[in-house]
Amino acid sequence: MTDRFMQAARCPTDELSLTNCAVINEKEQQFEQHVTVRNVAHMYVFTLKTHPSVNAGTIAFSLPQRKWAGLSIGQEVKVTNYKFDKSKQCISTMTVEIDFLQKKSVDSNPYDSDNMANEFIQHFNNQAFSIGQQLVFSFNDKLFGLLIKDIEAMDPSILKGEQNSGKKPKIEIGLLLGNSQVIFEKSESSSMTLVGKAKTRESRQSIISPDWNFERMGIGGLDREFSDIFRRAFASRVFPTDIVEQMGCKHVKGILLYGPPGCGKTLMARQIGTMLKAREPKIVNGPEILNKYVGESEANVRKLFADAEDEQKRLGANSGLHIIIFDEIDAICKQRGSMAGSTGVHDTVVNQLLSKIDGVEQLNNILVIGMTNRPDLIDDALLRPGRLEVKMEIGLPDEKGRVQILQIHTAKMRQNDLLTADVDVKELAVETKNYSGAELEGLVRAAQSTAMNRLIKASNTVEVNLETAEKLQVTRHDFMGALNNDVKPAFGTNQEDYATYIMNGIIRWGDPVSAVLEDGELLVQQTKNSERTPLVSVLLEGPPNSGKTALAAKISEDSQFPFIKICSPDKMIGHSEIAKCQAIKKIFEDAYKSQLSCVVVDDIERLLDYVPIGPRFSNMVLQALLVLLKKTPPKGRKLLIIGTTSRKDVLQEMEMLDAFSTTIHIPNISSGEQLVEALELLGSFQDVERASIAEAVRGKNLWIGIKKLLMLIEMSVQMDPGSRVKKFLTLLKDEGALGSDKFI
């Protein structure tokens, strides 16, 4: 039997009267958590508590409850169980009018409505509220009288994971949840001072609103990452707690954000804190935790979790969410046992952190966000489910992301008409391949400073020309200047790098050169377009000085890939074997961070320290290269590798040829016609001189690399005009390139 007539009574203690619950005897077991109390014609919904001092057959109410429901002591009321419809009666937003309970306690101190709302939700979580209801609320050791003015229900589509319709239905009776929003408004006659966001409806954001304004938060290009994090880490916190408990679902306690520097990891973590109705996040830099005194580092970790532990003990499931953000988490969470000769402080800090996040005494009211550029350094135990289980790569933004980021950073200039019409954000996004968010912000700053610099008078003192300062506008020319001269991407194309290899251009002395460039273009297109071959590698092999490196540099330049890097032996002079392996590995790891990359591995036998005497080579570098040449890049990334060598036979013996997808032979100039063609393209000799050289080489065997030919020509043209041809032909003979069948 759920209906029962009972007598209204006075609340037994002041403490119980502050709970906003009706109180019955613990033996009245037919009643559930919420009941309706019918008084003659009206029905009121109350949340129940039990207490042994209440007599059986009576139901106790506080004075504000009796006033609201029009009840008198000893009055008979009909009490019935009440069940909430969770799809329609969960409170999204509740507006509460507040004033001091007693006139003598009035003061002029400001009261933070955000803290008040957090306390209110923790104190009255999972309770029934009705429009017009009166209750007493204790905050900062003061009593306040509250009146419920307005209740809006959650849009049920949010709980189903559908798109928010934007309409929030009004309801008379609702159930307050941990993620409901409480807005305090002081009554008209009150002299109370309210501060904080919760005092106004518009400026408050809730976890359950899926339409966050990313641009207003200053975040661009991370929409997919945010939705993934929301799905994994916060979906369970949106649902009512009892539904989550029925599913046996545990909240995610940790997120690891990793990726290249400047891509928005710290910004994202900071905004996660502001998006959620949580305490102000605690942001800790990894190295700040460490302390030279024994036990202090572990104590620092314990202090971070102390507030969350204390609140969980006091409030249990009603505790608010505590966010702890570790920047540069790799500084304190390195693999245990990896630091030889250390004092073991790092290991004990990792142990302490592990036990706090997911130890014997579990905390369910924390979210730990770790950030690092080096996820490979972090201890494996920290990355298992239950700890930092959501691992999210915050990579370089794509073109759509770069448009968003540039719009964010140019928004104020656009509003104030400080951008000229020729500045096209989409054009800039196309030009800034592989730029991180921080580098795009730097680009905008550089363009602004270029524009400002135009208005500075160049006199004895540095002055701003005030007449023209008001007409200041940032132009496309300023952005292009910043793009070409000021801001270069860390993971990008270093033009000076490959420009030195092709400073004399590509001399198309015959069909073999055109064939190599055409094959190179085919391989570039295969890398771009093929879904089956994300890794394409080609070896350009041929005799010394035949222009292999120049052709490799030309193919890579023409590819227009956002990341081009040349792995060259001249940058590794004096490196030990280990240092050389690490340098090569870093080039490949950087390449994996870009969506399209090209790595030129130049002069492979030099990288391997090969010499024919001995024979001697570096097996460690060989093994590293063999692994890296065959390693498929991560999903969604594509890599073209171009290798060059003059000793194909040596690479064959080392079983390296099989590591390349294909091999292209680069020949030397082998006929008089090809030599004359090269001379014509270079234009160093006069027509008469070229005719004389053509006559001398006609029908002769030739074998000379284009690079060597260039050197001989430049040496010859330093002579007097009458002696140049003779000198050139002499040099050709001396080099064994003319009239010899040595290489034929």
Catalytic residue flag (residue 609):
no
Q: Judge whether 500 counts as a catalytic residue.
A: no
Contact 465, 456 (CB under 8 A): yes
Within 13 Å and on the Cβ side, how many CA atoms surround 144?
27
Alpha carbons 203 and 196: distance in angstroms, whole number: 10
Confirm whether 548 is a catalytic residue.
Answer: yes
Among the listed residues 27, 630, 726, 733, the single catalytic one is 630
Per-residue b/e over 11-47, b at no fewer than 16 CB within 10 Å? beeeebbbbbbbbbbeebeebebbbbbebeeeebbbb
Q: Which of 112, 358, 379, 602 is catalytic?
A: 602
Helix-helix angle 724-734:687-697, to 10 degrees: 30
Q: What is the 8-class DSSP label of residue 571? A: G
Which phi and psi (to 5°) does residue 5 adopt?
-90, 130
The Cα–Cα gap between 706 and 392 comes to: 50
Q: In which region does residue 359 sit, left (phi positive, over 0), alpha (psi from -120 to 50) or beta (all else)?
A: beta
Active site (annotated) includes residue 630? yes
Sign of CA dihedral 190, 196, 200, 205: negative
Edge-to-edge strand ranges of the sheet holding 142-153: 134-139, 142-153, 91-100, 181-186
Residue from 552, 525, 549, 553 nearest 538 by CA: 552
Active site residue 549: yes
> What angle (nearest 5°) sits at the alpha carbon of residue 46, between those of residues 43 and 47?
155
Task: Please identify which of the residues 93, 493, 549, 645 carries the catalytic annotation.
Answer: 549
In angstroms, the CA 303 to CA 301 distance is: 5
Planar angle of CA 494, 448, 263, nearest 5 degrees: 50
Catalytic-role residue among 155, 327, 330, 603: 603
Q: Which residues face 193 on adjacent strands?
A: 110
- Identify residue 700 by its one-letter amino acid code: K
Which residue is associated with the tokens 């009211």? 365
Q: Which residues contact 634 (CB under 8 A, 6 or more apart)?
A: 592
User: Alpha-carbon Rg of the chain, whole angstroms?
Assistant: 37
Amino acid at 654: M
Is residue 231 a contact partner of residue 238, using CB atoms and an 8 Å limit?
no
8 A C-beta contact, residue 404 and residue 220: yes
Q: How many CA atoms lie within 13 A of 448 on its CB side?
A: 12
Render the burial of 438-476: b for 16+ CB within 10 Å, e for the rest.
Answer: bbbbbbbebbbebbeeebeeeeeeeeeeeeeeeeeebbb
Instruction: Find all residues with CB under 8 Å of 101, minimum gap 6, and list them.
Output: 136, 143, 144, 145
Distance CA 133, CA 360 (A): 42
Which entry of 49, 282, 707, 727 is annotated as an active-site residue?
707
603 counts as catalytic: yes
Bridge partners for 43 per DSSP: 38
Residues β-bridged to residue 55: none
Question: Whose structure tokens read 């803290």?
Answer: 115
Q: Say if residues 286 and 331 touch (Cβ distance below 8 Å).
A: yes
Structure tokens at 581: 């392996």
The tokens for 592 are 């994996």
Check 548, 565, 580, 593 and give the catalytic one. 548
SS3 214: coil
Strands of the 662-665 sheet, one edge to the other: 563-567, 596-601, 638-645, 535-541, 662-665
Catalytic annotation, residues: 548-549, 602-603, 630, 707
